[in-house]
Amino acid sequence: MNDSFFEYLHRLELMAFFSGYPLIYILVFFIAGNQPSQSKLKGKLFSLLPYSYALVGTLYLGWQLRNLYPVYSMENIKQVLQPAYLTGWGLLTMLCWIPAVAKKPMLSLLHSIVFFYFLVRDIFTQLRAHAIDENMVRNDMNLYTVSLLLNVGCLIIITLIYFLFIRFKGSKNFTGA
């Protein structure tokens, strides 16, 4: 098989993880806004976005480690993680776990634009082609839907963890003493 085919499959994996984040970011920005509000949820949701993106990156790392199992040799790593620059770019999402990076949600948006570009490029390539490959467009849209659901799910999980942490931190009687 051609190496470009495996690169294409790897790019599809990256799109499935990261391409839906820009839409989630924009929706949360317009719904919750960057301004303080009366609601705790609306006020905190925007600042939790980078952490949810970091969770997506952590899940991507887990997916890659699962793909490498049981052979963790350099040859296997080079074969599975092609193209390496996109894999490295995808793993950079875990920098959003660092609070100093997470304070700037725009960085996570700029990071995810790279993966959204591949989706847009595939669609415009098909629109310019004389014979539109409906399967390719359908596949890209399915991956985009998966990415949206994954990013929404991660945002919900991070939000729940945050509010549970705040609730238990607020109660002064952890041990009942």
Tokens at residue 68, please? 């490498």
CA angle 55-59-31, nearest 5°?
40
Q: Within a domain: residue 83?
A: yes
How many CB atoms within 10 Å of residue 133? 12
- pTM of the full structure: 0.83
Q: Within a domain: residue 176?
A: no
pLDDT (average), residues 102-112: 92
96 CB burial (10 A radius; 0-12, 13-18, 19+): buried
What are the pLDDT digits (tens) for 29-85? 888 765 555 566 766 888 899 999 999 999 999 988 887 777 777 776 766 666 678
Q: What's the pLDDT score for residue 102?
A: 92
Q: Within a domain: residue 78?
A: yes
More confident residue, 42 or 155: 155
Mean pLDDT computed over every residue of the chain: 83
Q: How far apart are CA 16 and CA 43, in angstroms?
A: 29
Q: What's the pLDDT score for residue 39?
A: 66
Q: Within a domain: residue 177?
A: no
Q: Within a domain: residue 64?
A: yes
- Pick the range with the lowest mean pLDDT from 29-38, 110-119, 160-169: 29-38
Reported as a pLDDT band with limits 50, 70 and 90, residue 160 is very high
Helix axes 105-128, 134-170, angle to 10 degrees: 170
Q: How far apart are CA 109 and CA 105, in angstroms?
A: 7
More confident residue, 133 or 146: 146
| Residue 112 belongs to domain spanning | 3-170
Into how many domains does the chain fold? 1
pLDDT (average), residues 129-138: 76
Q: Within a domain: residue 63?
A: yes
Q: Within a domain: residue 175?
A: no
Q: How far apart are CA 177 and CA 175, in angstroms?
A: 5
Tokens at residue 165, please? 């942490």
More confident residue, 38 or 122: 122
